[in-house]
A and B are shown apart, each in its own frame.
Chain A
Amino acid sequence: EVQLVESGGGLVQPGGSLRLSCAASGFTLSSYWMSWVRQAPGKGPEWLANIRQDGGDEYYADSVRGRFTISRDNAKNSMYLQMSSLRAEDTAMYYCAPQSYTQFHFWGLGTLVTVSS
């Protein structure tokens, strides 16, 4: 069964850091560009970043560029999102998904990040 499990979310103070993980099973993560998408409460999805199969190329939304870093470890079938300088507006459910242009092949259940003092 194909599965993506995001973890690492939680409550963090403004200005703090957090590292999210995305563990894949039932498929080979190294076959796909992988992306992070978030959704703030009551809002639509927001594409954040993606990373090429070999980790050699990555792209970021303007809202997170310079603060968030995407990475992957194909040997562990996992992907990560290092988040720093967190703001209240970063509060959201964070999802990972394999991506081929606008095809997000499947999604995990997400991990909730809350930025609050």
Chain B
Amino acid sequence: QTVVTQEPSFSVSPGGTVTLTCGLSYGSVSTSHHPGWYQQTPGQAPRTLIYSTNTRSSGVPDRFSGSILGNKAALTITGAQADDESDYYCALYVHNGIYVFGTGTRVTVL
């Protein structure tokens, strides 16, 4: 069974920078996995921030950026703001038309 792993939580100061990562249980993440990143606040549906590694969805501020760092996908928030406090999930295309979401990271801004 494929597991996509993320850090459980991160804390960042307002204006600070934080990098979340997204790993694969059986190997390295690459652009062929089309990493996506999603933001979710309580009671709301997820919102797509980044897709296909580093493409920002329409309306997403440029303080959010996606990349591959080493063997993982990464989401970097530069200049964190209070309303960035959310749960963040990644998703990967793993094989044979199948996608898997990650375990999620709770980001606290304080």
Contact = CB atoms under 8 A, between A and B. Distances in A.
A104 B101 contact: no
Nearest to A102: B36
6 contacts: A45-B40, A59-B98, A102-B91, A102-B92, A102-B99, A103-B48
A59 B51 contact: no
A36 to B, nearest CB: 11
Interface residues on A, range: 20 to 34
Interface string A90-117: 0000010000111111011110000000
Contact of B101 (A44, A50, A62, A101): A44
B89 interface: yes
Given A44-B89, A44-B104, A102-B93, A62 B1 contact: yes
Nearest to B89: A44
10 smallest A-B Cβ distances: which pairs? A102-B36, A59-B97, A103-B51, A107-B45, A47-B99, A101-B34, A44-B104, A102-B51, A102-B34, A45-B101
Nearest to B35: A102
Contacts of A60: 98
Given A45-B89, A95-B45, A108-B45, A103 B36 contact: yes
B102 A44 contact: yes
A104 to B, nearest CB: 5
B76 to A, nearest CB: 17
Nearest to B102: A44
B25 interface: no
A61 B42 CA distance: 25
A101 B102 contact: no
A54 interface: no
Given A37-B101, A47-B99, 7 more contacts: A44-B89, A45-B38, A45-B40, A60-B98, A95-B45, A104-B38, A110-B45
